[in-house]
Structure 1
Amino acid sequence: MTSQARLKRDIAKGGEIVPAPELPDVFPPQRTLTGLAGLVWRHKAVCFGIFITLAMILIAVFAPYLTKHDPSAIAPMTRLRPPSAEHYFGTDMLGRDIYARVIYGTRVSLSVGFVVAILSSGVGLFIGLLSGYFRWLDGPIMRLMDGVMSIPGVLLAIAMMALSGGSLGTVIAAITVVEIPRVARLVRGVALSIREQAYVEAAIAAGTSTPKIMYRHILPNTMAPLMVQATYVCAAAMLLESILSFIGAGIPPSVPSWGNIMADGRALWQIKPAIIFIPAVALSITILAINLVGDGLRDALDPRMARKV
């Protein structure tokens, strides 16, 4: 029985009831996974994005079974071979199989994108919650984040790579530092909004501990925008890794990545454009697919967007 029904029942019995003011729900109605899936699958573009993303993940996982060539094996006698049954995309100037390098490059790009998205989301969530809830920390933390964001991401990543050397872990760390401020500012904005809600102020007045307030009231409301932002961070990290590798400031050239493959093909663009074109297409399709997934999550998790569908 709802509170309004109980109130009408008591009034009908002749009791004098002073109704309490209605407060918003502590937890707004959450969408079920089935409902979210239904909203996402209504978009054909989102279905395409999910399909391509899953396909790229499977390619990265089963890369050793999809090619019989070592992506780093040098064979000068077979350099610059055209596409054939032996080498599907041909070979580069060192005789390495381009198909194998593109397949294994999927592992590097997806690893960088997913790991950076997870790390930057976790650290940015922690910083954003502190900044949005504790007002005395807001100024110093945000000025630090503004200082990091004022430096172009590519230049900041190049500086970090120059100091620590090129490796996969260093690239991930450098790109994570670049993306943390964007996530932190997003979470801070949501936390500032939730911090002023009536039910949060009531919880503070009732003596609820700060960790419990942040865990029960503020953290759940940051999950939806954080998930959407994480998809964009993943795509941006993949693009930034390719840029760093292309200019020679990223992963070592011996490691097959889409940026390294394109960098190797710069001098051969006029005679063998496929060395640049093939990994560029793979990178573009993957980034497009991840962005489409992010758009679908935004539409599904935002009630205002869901009503328009």
Structure 2
Amino acid sequence: MSGIITSKNIDPSLINLQKNNTKSYWQIVWGRLMKNKGAMAGSFILIFFIGAALLAPVLAPFPIDEMKMENRFLPPSLDHLLGTDEFGRDILSRMMHGGRISLMMGLVAVSIAGITGVVLGVISGYYRRIDIYIMQMMDILLAFPSLLLAIAIIAVLGVGLTNAMIAVAISVIPSYVRVVRGAVLSIREKEYIEAVQALGVSDFKIIVKHIFPNVLSPVIVLSTLQFGTSILAAAALSFLGLGAQPPTPEWGAMAYVGKSFLLQAWWMSLFPGLAIMLVVLGFNLLGDGLRDALDPRLK
């Protein structure tokens, strides 16, 4: 009877391993992410701000351009939860609408940088003859601090919201190129890539079917981290007067205007600055959690 195998004398780790083998890769990643407290905290922060931005036309208590000079510089109260500005406009309403602009700037910048950087990174890593030219161009861009590079680009393109998004995107592209290139260099040396090449499969099909899916994980993690960085850079440009211009209710522009009244109305700069800090923190926490969940060493 001692040789009979029952559920009591089976190693629990073997049972968990069998259960894990029945799950897909993305189910395992999702399970790891749900167990990461930092990633969940970042997700809740982002859900709060994204939800407030999307529902701003419904939830905002006042019109963003409604001026009441008799309400100038009112401190936070029950009537105006975050106070009013120099024109008597409700700061909470302007911040909710401004979140749509700030988040859109980050989304557009990351989308442009991600698409361009992935394409250049794949080409650089797969076609070695072109690699040196692409990487020399990236090295030139990396020689400048990202914010300084964005300021230089705006100096050429001109001041404005659209140009600020383009400038931030260009300053982020080298990060994508380097990450994707490194992943492609590792993948293209695998035996299965050499096998499909020997079968005469075209380079386009190899890249689309065999290489791109394997570089998707680091790109997702990098995009999450760069989203917060892009929002911060765009807000910094607006704070310097190079991005969104008043009266556009963008967080960086609101903080820029508020600094002139810092002693008189500290809330004008404090609350937009806190919003920027919390959103960037949320993306960084989520990015760290995704990096841990997608780490192949943890499979």
**TM-score w.r.t. structure 1 length?**
0.85
CA distance in 2, matches of 1:162, 1:131: 29
CA distance in 2, matches of 1:191, 1:202: 16
Offset of 1:57 from its aligned partner? 1.3
CA contact (8 A) 1:63 1:104 kept: yes
Per-residue displacement from partner, 1:174-198 (whole Å, max 9, x unpaired)?
Answer: 1111111110111001011111112
1:38 aligned onto 2:31? yes
For 2:238, the equivalent position in structure 1 comes to 245
CA contact (8 A) 2:75 2:267 kept: no
1:294 aligned onto 2:287? yes
Offset of 1:94 from its aligned partner? 2.1
Per-residue displacement from partner, 1:130-149 (whole Å, max 9, x unpaired)?
Answer: 00000010000100111112
For 1:139, the equivalent position in structure 2 comes to 132
Match of 1:213 among 206, 219, 227: 206
1:129 aligned onto 2:127? no
1:108 aligned onto 2:101? yes
1:66 aligned onto 2:59? yes
RMSD of the TM alignment (CA)? 1.7
Please tell me whether Structure 1 or Structure 2 has the larger radius of gyration of its CA atoms.
1
CA distance in 1, matches of 2:50, 2:288: 19
CA distance in 1, matches of 2:293, 2:263: 46
**TM-score w.r.t. structure 2 length?**
0.88
1:118 aligned onto 2:147? no
Per-residue displacement from partner, 1:3-53 (whole Å, max 9, x unpaired)?
Answer: xxxxxxxxxxxxxxxxxxxxxxxxxx9943332221101111111111111
1:181 aligned onto 2:174? yes
CA distance in 2, matches of 1:54, 1:208: 44
Match of 2:68 among 70, 75, 91: 75
Q: Which runs of 4+ in 1 moved over 6 A?
A: none
SS at match of 2:245: coil
1:162 aligned onto 2:170? no
Per-residue displacement from partner, 1:160-185 (whole Å, max 9, x unpaired)?
Answer: 22333333322211111111111011
For residues 268-279 of structure 1, what are the structure 2 equivalents within 5 Å?
268-279=261-272
Aligned length: 278
Per-residue displacement from partner, 1:229-269 (whole Å, max 9, x unpaired)?
Answer: 00111011000011101111111121111111111111222
Deviates more, 1:220-229 or 1:48-57: 48-57
CA contact (8 A) 1:74 1:96 kept: yes
Deviates more, 1:37-46 or 1:113-122: 113-122
CA contact (8 A) 1:71 1:97 kept: yes
The alpha-carbon distance between structure 1 residues 30 and 208, as it changes in their structure 2 partners (threshold 3 A), is farther
Match of 2:253 among 239, 248, 260: 260
The alpha-carbon distance between structure 1 residues 176 and 282, as it changes in their structure 2 partners (threshold 3 A), is same
